[in-house]
């Protein structure tokens, strides 16, 4: 069964009925992500994120949300600082309210419900923040004629990139 998207889900109920959802979310509804993107284009045209997900139990009987999201964001090329269209397709698998012990022994991350509810907008936004490349570069390596030919891409400094800061926070919490 497939249902229209809501923002919040009572996850125990959805796991029991194996709820499956697909729809799209407006990028403009994801405020934290929007603040990380170059403002010009992403806000003007109404960009959407196509989201599909279902509620399941894993082999240890722990509730999970698994799904996929697809969109295209406009990033800034770190070589020429001009817009760069970046198609993104991300799969996610997250346990819900798993114990610390389980999280330690598992390669799968957990999210935590709020009074039994999870907010799919938050999940999608976190996944996009984690999944967006830290350093975006045009495929055409000659997009900036002033770029020093000796500068390798690994030298592009990602430390001032807001995505890098957030991804750092995410992996240490």
By the criterion CB under 5 A, which residues form the site for Zn ion? 77, 79-80, 138, 143
Tell me the C-alpha to C-alpha distance, in Å, between residue 41 and each of 34, 78, 89: 11, 17, 20
For the bound state, the minimum distance from the C-beta of residue 141 to Zn ion, rounded and expressed in Å, comes to 9
Q: Within the chain, where are the H helices? A: 11-16, 31-36, 39-44, 100-105, 120-131, 162-172
Instruction: Based on DSSP, count helices (H) and strands (E) in the chain, helices before strands.
Output: 6, 7
Give me the least distance between CB of 162 and Zn ion, in Å please. 19
Closer CB to Zn ion, 88 or 135, in the complex: 135
Q: Give dist(CA 44, CA 52) in Å, integer.
A: 25
How far CA 142 is from CA of 74, 76, 135, 151, 154, in Å, comes to: 19, 15, 16, 12, 17
Q: How far is Cα 169 from Cα 155, in angstroms, rounded to an integer?
A: 22
**Cα(28)–Cα(52) distance, integer angstroms:** 19
Residue closer to Zn ion (CB basis): 108 or 143: 143
**In this complex, which beta carbon is closest to Zn ion, that of residue 80 or of residue 166?**
80
For Zn ion, the closer of residues 135 and 143 by Cβ is: 143
Strands 20-26 and 117-119: unpaired
CB of 173 to Zn ion, least distance (A): 33
Please report how close the Cβ of residue 145 comes to Zn ion at its closest, in angstroms. Answer: 11
Please, which residue, 47 or 79, has the CB nearer to Zn ion? 79
The minimum distance between CB 75 and Zn ion, in angstroms, equals 10
């Amino acid at each position: 069964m497939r249902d229209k998207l809501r923002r919040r889900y009572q996850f125990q109920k959805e796991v029991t009925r194996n709820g499956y959802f697909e729809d799209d979310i407006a990028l403009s509804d994801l405020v934290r992500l929007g603040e990380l993107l170059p403002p010009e284009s992403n806000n003007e045209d109404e960009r959407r994120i196509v989201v599909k997900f279902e509620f399941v139990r894993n082999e240890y009987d722990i509730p999970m949300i698994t799904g996929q999201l697809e969109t295209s964001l406009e990033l800034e090329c770190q070589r020429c600082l001009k817009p760069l269209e970046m198609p993104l397709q991300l799969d996610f698998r997250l346990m819900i309210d798993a114990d610390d012990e389980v999280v330690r022994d598992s390669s799968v991350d957990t999210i935590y419900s709020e009074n039994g509810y999870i907010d799919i907008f938050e999940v999608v936004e976190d996944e996009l923040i984690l999944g967006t490349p830290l350093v975006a570069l045009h495929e055409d390596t000659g997009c900036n004629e002033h770029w020093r030919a000796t500068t390798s891409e690994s030298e592009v400094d990602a430390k001032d990139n807001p995505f890098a800061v957030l991804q750092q926070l995410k992996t240490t919490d």
